[in-house]
Structure 1
Amino acid sequence: MSNDVPELVNPERVLSIPVKKTDAVGLYLPLRKFVATKYSENDVDKVDSILESLNKCRTDMVERIGNLSLPKKRDCLVHYFKCLCMVEPLFTFISCNAGANADPIIFVWYDAFNTDRFSSQRNNIQLEKAAVLFNLGAIYSQIAASCDRTTALGRHLAMEAFKVAANFFLKLWKVFGKDCSTATLDLSLFFAEFLHLLFSAQASEIELQQQINNNHASYTLQQHQCALKFISDFKLYRRAYEMIRTDSAARKHVCSLDQTWVTHLYQKATFFHAEARQRKSFILPKNEQPQQFSSVQYCALDHDEECVTEILVRGICSAARKKIPNNKLTLYVDLILSEYNIFKIIEDGKLVANPWDMPPPYPTNSAILSSSSSLSHYLAFFPLKKSEPLDLYEPVRNHFVHRYSESVAKRVEGLLEMLDKLRKEMQRDDHSLPIRRDCLIRYFTCLCMIEPFFPINTSSNPPIFVWYDAFNPQEHSSQHNIHLEKASVLFNLGALCARIALSCNLTTIQGHRLSMDALSDASYWFILLSFEIKKACGTIDLSQPFIEMMANQVVHLKYEFPHRSITGSHVSAETGTSDVTEQFLSGYRKAHSLLQGVCQPPCLDLLSEVSPVKINNGNLVANATLEPPNLALQNMSLQETTSSNITVEEN
């Protein structure tokens, strides 16, 4: 590579790729027919809405995708991928019985770089899954390219979106590419690796821009970080460029889309090579290097108005980067309880999938939660903390006005409205425990977003958090410390999840699974609480001994719960491999686990149409479509059955 640094024609340019196109194919009727033939009409009823949602998403990919916003396209593809993984076992059977008991299903996908080339695969669901993953990577690359990278928030979103795009192509390269060797060139292992390198390089370059603008770090540390980043960017761009340069077919294929790609990659690789050589002397000796770097610190906590929304957004990122991750996928808690999950398990094990683009309310389940547990005396170990009412909107908004400006306050008032509303909702005793759980999780997320701005000292009336001891309500703590608020919310989340577990019908397989998942969630919240109370001193119930006592009770409950509900012929029939709903749930678990591993940045969820707080033109706005459904209170039996138990125990 030449040592002469070429002048970058457009140094701010980033590359993105188009989505793959596909022909229409009807999935509902052949899949429904196969389920009815292999299983029964009753089984069809259990999964019918999943098949309808699957078919709707695929139809939208053909007919509507061009008219949707990028976040809506992403939501559609994610929902379709989950549905696709749920029905994957059916395709295995269909492939083995093609021409006999099943109608053929042929997927046709066109090359993203050259639509004149296409691949037709019969009964090959792996091609369909690979194409959807490709399109998810492409959509994220387009989201990243569309961000305003002149702002701190725009750079943050673009960096995270390119990382996710790179992750999708890594999965395509390592997991799915080998099953599509006869498909179009854009799905080859070569292109999956190349696109992974390209988007990793662009994400790294934007992260470098964040570091260069970081006036929070010391000069020496900043120079050290930048030197390492220049070297990393050079290696990524060089590998991407060398792959294209040495493969004539790939180079011709890329040039069929845009002839400037190869030149662009060469200029980037050469530029970063020269910069890396110049900055190599800034790299610190190993004994002087910091132990870890955090990308959430690339925007200083200063009075720069442009950084305000970025600070709020990386607050949600810091909440997701806790030291103790929730590795266990608590499937049944969300599928049965969450008001906002688009997939639900309702009575008799029926699976329901709401249309991917429709807002709540969603159906609730009254069969799993019946307070039939003989362990209800344990409720006394999990009381809930009470709090005094508090108006958060006005004092926090006034803080933004005084510290920044009225225009900045307007940019974030959607978040502040949601924050205030969620705090009022979480104190309502007439809500069921699952609804209160959802509310607390969303409130905790909002607290993490505003945490960097506390303590609020510039406000004429700073908020005072007042929380009462859960075991001794006569004692209370009154503080400005937001960590008292966060710790109390985590305490109630752990207690609520434990109460949900104690309210499950343990004589059913789903009730038992729900209780186990709820206890796992409770353990997770108490672990997070053990870290949070180090920053907050409050009532005795927030002391380390009390938290350890409640965490131990959760562990004890797991051993105390009866295990007879997962043994015997009745359960074997429910959980056997021949049960269609169990196969769908297994597919959902795999899809959710894969997407969680790829789509980690929670800040990108703020772009989704189904996020309670959204980013809109750089502003944080409240999503009015996510009103908690009032009908859920009438349909959920948990609230009525547990209220009497709680009253007896607490009195």
Structure 2
Amino acid sequence: MSNQSWQLLNPETVLSIPLKKTDPVELYLPLRNLVASKYSESDAEKVESVLETLNKCRRDMVERRGDLSLPMQRDCLIHYFKCLCMVESLFTSLSSDADADADADPIIFVWYDAFNPEHEEGVSSQRNGIQLEKAAVVFNLGAICSQIAASYDRTTALGRHLAMEAFKVAANFFFQLWKVFAKDVVSATLDLTPLLAQFLHALFSAQASELELQPQLLNDARYALHQSVHLLYARAVTLIHNVSRAAKLKHVYCFDRTWATHLSEKEGFFGNSSMHSWNLAQAEAPQRESSIPEQPNAECVAEILVRGICRRSIPNLQQIYVDLILSEYNPFKLMKDGKLVAYPWDMPPRYPTDSAILSPSMSSPLSGILALLPLKKSEPLNLYESLRNYFVLKYSESVAKRVEGPLEMLHKLRNEMLRDDLSLPLRRDCLIRYFKCLCMIEPFFPMNASPNPPVFVWYNAINPQQDSSQHNIHLEKASVLFNLVALCTHIALSCDLTTIQGCRLAMEALNEALNWFSPLPGESKKASGTIDLSEQYTSKIKNEIVGLKHKFPHPQSDVSSLPEYPASTNDPSSDVTEQFLLGYCKAHSLLQEVCEAACLDLLSAVSPVKIKDGNLVANATLEAPNLALENMSLQETQH
């Protein structure tokens, strides 16, 4: 089938859906009063920052929607969903203790059908309305991702990739709505039923698959590719007819009636194209010559960088407590006194680290179990100049200009990575961000077109007299992974184990060290590094850390369930904080599973590297907070 036929039969049309609308509701005062009455005033003070942020998120979601860009609406909804999960136990309390809390202010959520906005009556839920609220927010997360996908210029490689990823995430949200959240809603509008959620999951899965396979579909007659897209659209067609029948029973219309026609045309086209590709395959010779991968052209450079920064070679880290306690970029912070601090969704976090948690006891049992693993040292390197010159020579000055923002960020992160005066949390954040940037540029190595490619020089961590000097980017990646492992052990050894939070942080730091081991052997094998990167040496370190975990001193509070969820304690003063943390961990795990398209985070206002007008740029709005954090870290070091 010719490219011309493809364009005629498949216009650049994709379907997206509107968001549900809701009425305003006050959340802060009734929830704070509930915490104060059920627990204590001190407990209310510990979590009031989360309650304020919850209230702000919902107010912005209702009142500022027209002023916010699509990515900002997504950020607000994700932040609100995390806060909702944190306070869910309070709504359970409201429901179970209805008699005891008869005087409490009622919390009534009202939501309207997304596909029938003319209908004046919405669905409301009182006291236990958290289930309706969560289902509606998950619906809107799927809806906003579908709108983000439809907003991209899909004639470009980057736009097509981002649209495909956004449709995948939209499909994932509606899968969760179908399987989990819609089932918990007793009385729902038609848009919150499992049937409609199932249809939307099928629809956005089909559109994502079409975009993902589009380059191959244009140039490849393989039957399996065409058939896979055809089956997805066929399922969507079946489900849309089922939804239409259900809608007629309720005397409402769900969506534009042209949707059914559009999906039927898609199903018919891919059915015919799959049959055509099958016949073509039967007529061809049984063996085909393997094609040589094409070199990336200038138009694909930005897309390749985006794909690189979101590579699956980055371990799927839980790092819940590490981020809650140490990370300067996490919007939620857990302090040593049990206070939970939340930062507004639309501003970059800039918390000081609670260094008391990183103050080891003089009799720390860890000190005699594991010797401090030294970090590898490296020579300074001007990555910006060499990489920018490569893009100029390989492509053009205009292409180099489009990507110079990320190259500047890469160069800056490498310089900061070599600093010894940064605090442990800042150094960890820097190493993780630098590793992601290395994954971003990896597809362009080896840079054969460059007369002066960068040369990475790394010294043996155990014997600094030995070094390895290579152009191989895998030496750089392996060395950074080694340092991440070492740094996590430093964090574990620096924790104050006389506190529950210190014990949890140390345990999770060791878990994270083991996670960073997973890609290390593969990177080391691709480079001839120093002996400290050998499989024999790294296996020895790994075994020591595993052994340390078995000898790890547990506090009275059971922490065996970490890192996935915090365990409950018998201490009444920490009950409300524990419940909030449990909700946060559940939300964190769900969003990690659903929002697997990390490239969408590049649209966020708080991402260090952003996608803007089809280009990758460094986020200048983060520079001031970053400088403040560096100065703070220097002051801590001097004291």
SS at match of 2:310: helix
Whole-angstrom distance in 1 between the partners of 2:209 and 2:226: 12
Equivalent of 2:508 in 514, 517, 528: 517
Whole-angstrom distance in 1 between the partners of 2:396 and 2:629: 40
Please state if 1:115 is matched with 2:117: yes
User: Given the superposition, is the C-alpha separation of residues 180 and 338 from structure 1 closer, same or farther in structure 2, using an over 3 Å criterion?
Assistant: same
Equivalent of 1:206 in 179, 200, 211: 211
**Most deviating of 359-368 and 430-439:** 359-368
Whole-angstrom distance in 2 between the partners of 1:561 and 1:620: 44
The one-letter code of the counterpart of 1:208 is L
User: Given the superposition, is the C-alpha separation of residues 178 and 347 from structure 1 closer, same or farther in structure 2, using an over 3 Å criterion?
Assistant: same
Whole-angstrom distance in 2 between the partners of 1:476 and 1:398: 27
SS at match of 2:111: strand
Match of 1:359 in 2: 348
Shift of 1:300: 5.8
Shift of 1:607: 1.2
Match of 2:472 in 1: 481
Whole-angstrom distance in 1 between the partners of 2:251 and 2:265: 19
- 1:316-355 to structure 2, matched below 5 A, reads 316-318=309-311, 320-321=312-313, 326=316, 329-355=318-344
Whole-angstrom distance in 2 between the partners of 1:487 and 1:83: 37
Alpha-carbon RMSD: 2.8
- 1:232-381 to structure 2, matched below 5 A, reads 232-244=231-243, 246-247=245-246, 249=248, 253-254=252-253, 257-281=255-279, 301-318=294-311, 320-321=312-313, 326=316, 329-372=318-361, 373-376=364-367, 380-381=371-372
The one-letter code of the counterpart of 2:117 is T
Equivalent of 2:165 in 160, 163, 166: 160
Aligned partners of 1:375 and 1:502 also within 8 Å: yes
The one-letter code of the counterpart of 1:615 is I
Whole-angstrom distance in 2 between the partners of 1:6 and 1:150: 14
The one-letter code of the counterpart of 1:356 is W
Whole-angstrom distance in 1 between the partners of 2:260 and 2:204: 15
The one-letter code of the counterpart of 1:566 is S
Whole-angstrom distance in 2 between the partners of 1:132 and 1:376: 47
Shift of 1:558: 1.0
Please state if 1:626 is matched with 2:601: no
The one-letter code of the counterpart of 1:133 is V
Aligned partners of 1:241 and 1:262 also within 8 Å: yes
Shift of 1:258: 2.3
SS at match of 1:566: coil
User: Given the superposition, is the C-alpha separation of residues 312 and 637 from structure 1 closer, same or farther in structure 2, using an over 3 Å criterion?
Assistant: closer
User: Given the superposition, is the C-alpha separation of residues 289 and 541 from structure 1 closer, same or farther in structure 2, using an over 3 Å criterion?
Assistant: farther
- 1:45-64 to structure 2, matched below 5 A, reads 45-64=45-64
The one-letter code of the counterpart of 1:223 is R
Whole-angstrom distance in 2 between the partners of 1:591 and 1:390: 40
Shift of 1:269: 1.7
Shift of 1:97: 3.1
SS at match of 2:248: helix
Match of 1:193 in 2: 198
Shift of 1:638: 12
**Most deviating of 68-77 and 571-580:** 571-580
Aligned partners of 2:500 and 2:555 also within 8 Å: no
SS at match of 1:425: helix
SS at match of 1:487: helix
Please state if 1:579 is matched with 2:571: no
Shift of 1:237: 3.7
Aligned partners of 2:602 and 2:611 also within 8 Å: yes
User: Given the superposition, is the C-alpha separation of residues 32 and 8 from structure 1 closer, same or farther in structure 2, using an over 3 Å criterion?
Assistant: farther
Match of 1:71 in 2: 71
The C-alpha deviation readout for 1:226-270, integer Å capped at 9, x for no partner, is 334344344334334443455452897456x42321221221122
Whole-angstrom distance in 2 between the partners of 1:101 and 1:586: 28
Match of 2:600 in 1: 604
Shift of 1:379: 6.2
SS at match of 1:375: coil
Match of 1:138 in 2: 143
User: Given the superposition, is the C-alpha separation of residues 289 and 204 from structure 1 closer, same or farther in structure 2, using an over 3 Å criterion?
Assistant: farther
The C-alpha deviation readout for 1:351-405, integer Å capped at 9, x for no partner, is 0000111123123212211022243356645100011010000110010000001
Whole-angstrom distance in 1 between the partners of 2:582 and 2:635: 27
User: Given the superposition, is the C-alpha separation of residues 499 and 6 from structure 1 closer, same or farther in structure 2, using an over 3 Å criterion?
Assistant: closer
Whole-angstrom distance in 2 between the partners of 1:312 and 1:428: 26
User: Given the superposition, is the C-alpha separation of residues 410 and 596 from structure 1 closer, same or farther in structure 2, using an over 3 Å criterion?
Assistant: same
User: Given the superposition, is the C-alpha separation of residues 398 and 250 from structure 1 closer, same or farther in structure 2, using an over 3 Å criterion?
Assistant: farther
Structure 2, unpaired ranges of 5+: 560-566
Whole-angstrom distance in 1 between the partners of 2:49 and 2:582: 17
User: Given the superposition, is the C-alpha separation of residues 116 and 484 from structure 1 closer, same or farther in structure 2, using an over 3 Å criterion?
Assistant: same
User: Given the superposition, is the C-alpha separation of residues 58 and 289 from structure 1 closer, same or farther in structure 2, using an over 3 Å criterion?
Assistant: farther
Please state if 1:429 is matched with 2:420: yes
The one-letter code of the counterpart of 1:392 is L
User: Given the superposition, is the C-alpha separation of residues 578 and 544 from structure 1 closer, same or farther in structure 2, using an over 3 Å criterion?
Assistant: closer
SS at match of 2:458: strand
SS at match of 2:356: coil
Structure 1, unpaired ranges of 5+: 291-297, 644-651
Please state if 1:105 is matched with 2:107: yes
User: Given the superposition, is the C-alpha separation of residues 107 and 251 from structure 1 closer, same or farther in structure 2, using an over 3 Å criterion?
Assistant: closer
**Most deviating of 441-450 and 5-14:** 5-14
Aligned partners of 2:421 and 2:634 also within 8 Å: no
Whole-angstrom distance in 1 between the partners of 2:46 and 2:67: 32
Whole-angstrom distance in 2 between the partners of 1:204 and 1:73: 25
- 1:550-565 to structure 2, matched below 5 A, reads 550-564=541-555
Give TM-score scaled by structure 1 length: 0.89
Please state if 1:80 is matched with 2:80: yes
- 1:387-536 to structure 2, matched below 5 A, reads 387-536=378-527
Give TM-score scaled by structure 2 length: 0.90
User: Given the superposition, is the C-alpha separation of residues 358 and 303 from structure 1 closer, same or farther in structure 2, using an over 3 Å criterion?
Assistant: closer
Please state if 1:171 is matched with 2:171: no
The one-letter code of the counterpart of 1:314 is R
Aligned partners of 1:366 and 1:638 also within 8 Å: no
Whole-angstrom distance in 2 between the partners of 1:73 and 1:80: 10
The one-letter code of the counterpart of 2:116 is N
**Most deviating of 523-532 and 497-506:** 523-532
SS at match of 2:468: strand
Aligned partners of 2:374 and 2:462 also within 8 Å: yes
Shift of 1:316: 2.2
Whole-angstrom distance in 1 between the partners of 2:10 and 2:132: 36
SS at match of 2:123: strand
Shift of 1:183: 1.4
User: Given the superposition, is the C-alpha separation of residues 591 and 575 from structure 1 closer, same or farther in structure 2, using an over 3 Å criterion?
Assistant: farther
Match of 1:41 in 2: 41
Whole-angstrom distance in 1 between the partners of 2:307 and 2:236: 27
Shift of 1:282: 6.1
| Identity, % of aligned positions | 63
Aligned partners of 1:6 and 1:271 also within 8 Å: no
User: Given the superposition, is the C-alpha separation of residues 91 and 164 from structure 1 closer, same or farther in structure 2, using an over 3 Å criterion?
Assistant: same
Match of 2:562 in 1: none
Whole-angstrom distance in 2 between the partners of 1:343 and 1:299: 48
Whole-angstrom distance in 1 between the partners of 2:304 and 2:419: 31
User: Given the superposition, is the C-alpha separation of residues 637 and 459 from structure 1 closer, same or farther in structure 2, using an over 3 Å criterion?
Assistant: closer
